Amino acid sequence: MKIGILGSGTWGTALANMLANMHHKVVVYGKFAAEIDYLNENRIHKNLPGCELNKEILFTTDISKACLNQEVIIFAVPSVFIRQTAINAKEFINKDQIIVTVAKGIEENTLFSMSEILEDVLGKDIKVVALSGPTHAEEVAIGQPTLIVSSCSDIEIAKVIQKAFSNEVLRVYTNTDIKAVELCGALKNIIALAAGMSDGMGFGDNAKAAIITRGLTEITRLGLAYGGKETTFYGLAGIGDIVVTATSLHSRNHNAGVLLGKGVCLEETLKQVGMVVEGINALVSAKQLAKKLNVEMPIVNAVYSVIYEGKKPLVAVSELFDRKQISE
């Protein structure tokens, strides 16, 4: 299968390597010439230790090469760049191609998911799949066992991606609840920030378990109001992705939370992490969506108050404990 990947970051490159090793013909588009030249010449990515990239992958700064004549086009840029990337690629994309998004976020103000942004730019007749789940790029790149969800409102399109991506170490499930799958992918990053803050403040496993559990409750509550199916939130895209993102050393969201919990300022935190922290990008839109749907999200609000309102993490924790007592 001919596959174009838009985005030469860790996830886009890890997917490219896996797919090329499966003998798919893969072209990866990246914006920065120096990075693309380095990838072509050295076959290593700075954020994928231990991974030697397949020599058959073509890295390019020409977006048309990653779109024209491809059967599948994967959008693997950070969520804040999805719309502009789609605008740049639009003239090279047609309705017969399958569009896959692996970005996780909600667009501010429009409150569009990534698939909705792609439909808004590329047209309602395109076929969009959200590929999501507990998938650290660092592990996928070196062939560690991983499970993921291919979600599309058209189950047959989801199955095409399931078949194309499945191998001896990647097991792909299908799902038609794309709105809920994408919402999970966006909001779990915020819960991971909260779990990281807990670690940064020196709290233990009890606190982290509580954050993960109650965080899932918040996401499910919002997701049901959003039109999702409850079972999705207890699957790979929901609890699976929350667990891996909230507990792993690979998680940039968790790592950012640790720094913030230790009192490091936001600017320095982002500098030290050195990669896009999607949970921070998702906070504003998450609050907007919760307000629109009249859903209470105390953990999300607490993380927002620390990052955007300058509240001390310990104060935010104290306020969470001071909330009215309720039943689970």
CA 176 to chain CA mean position, Å = 18
List phi, psi (to 5°) of 175.
-160, 140
Give just the sign of the alpha carbon dihedral 258, 249, 105, 64.
Answer: positive
Active-site position among 127, 188, 208, 287: 188
Helical H segments across 171-297, by residue range: 178-200, 205-226, 230-233, 241-247, 252-261, 266-273, 278-293
Q: Is position 208 annotated as part of the catalytic site?
A: no
**Ramachandran area for residue 218 (φ above 0: left; ψ -120 to 50: alpha; else beta):** alpha
Tally Cβ neighbours within 10 Å of residue 25: 16
Give just the sign of the alpha carbon dihedral 81, 12, 112, 73.
Answer: positive
| CA distances to 16, 56, 84, 99, 275 from 251, in Å | 20, 29, 26, 26, 10
Residues 149 and 236 sit within 8 Å (Cβ to Cβ): yes
Tally Cβ neighbours within 10 Å of residue 115: 25
| CA distances to 114, 151, 192, 233 from 156, in Å | 20, 10, 33, 22
Amino acid at the residue 129: V
Strand partners, 150: 131, 174
Q: What is the spatial distance between Cα 102 and Cα 10, in angstroms, rounded to a whole number? A: 12
The residue with tokens 């501010």 is 108
> Quick one: tokens of 320?
């969470």
Q: Which residues are catalytic?
A: 188
